[in-house]
């Protein structure tokens, strides 16, 4: 179980990886529930999958270029496919969406392994962004005065 405190200590990249992991877990659960004929639980899992893909889409940085736009379209395609799978109780459509989601998750995790580790920089809040602070000399001492 992950606590709120643990999440606050994660980088945005690590949180994205957690979302992919949670999504894949929900795909597995939904698939199992469909096979068992437990459509109510399958429905809940598929709704969670769509919530996760929505959060992944909302977290895209569109300043990154065309890849963000393409990922947005892929997330929308996955969500639409999961909705259709839910509507028709179609395990094959769900499996197709899961395969695509798995490919993106695998690519993300591979990129995380190869990415240089940067220290987390804290964002300034609205107040801090709108004030001007003069540069102060660092550790200067005037001798003899």
Residue corresponding to tokens 């990129």: 111
Using one digit for the tens of pLDDT, what is the confidence trace for 44-61? 999 999 999 999 999 999
Q: How many CB atoms lie within 10 A of CB 27?
A: 24
End-to-end CA gap in the chain: 60
Residue 2 has φ and ψ, to the nearest 5°, of -100, 130
Percentage of the chain beyond pLDDT 90 is 70
Using one digit for the tens of pLDDT, what is the confidence trace for 124-145? 655 556 655 555 555 555 545 4
Class of domain 10-129: mainly alpha
pTM for this model (two decimals)? 0.78
Contacts for 140 with CB less than 8 Å, ≥ 6 apart: none
Across the chain, mean pLDDT equals 87
Helix, strand, or coil here: 75? Answer: helix
Q: Where are the domains of the chain?
A: 10-129
How far apart CA 91 and CA 30 sit, in angstroms, is: 9
């Amino acid at each position: 179980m992950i606590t709120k405190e643990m999440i606050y200590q994660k980088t945005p990249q690590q949180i994205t990886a957690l979302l992919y992991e949670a999504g894949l877990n929900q795909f597995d659960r939904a698939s199992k529930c469909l096979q068992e004929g437990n459509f109510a639980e399958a429905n809940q899992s598929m709704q969670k999958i769509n919530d996760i893909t929505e959060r992944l889409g909302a977290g895209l940085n569109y300043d990154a270029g065309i890849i963000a736009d393409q990922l947005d379209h892929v997330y929308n395609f996955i969500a639409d496919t999961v909705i259709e799978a839910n509507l028709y109780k179609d395990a094959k459509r769900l499996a197709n969406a899961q395969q695509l989601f798995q490919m993106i998750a695998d690519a993300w995790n591979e990129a995380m392994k190869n990415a240089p580790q940067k220290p987390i920089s804290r964002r300034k809040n609205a107040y801090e962004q709108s004030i001007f602070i003069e540069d102060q000399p660092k550790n200067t001492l005037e001798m003899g005065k």
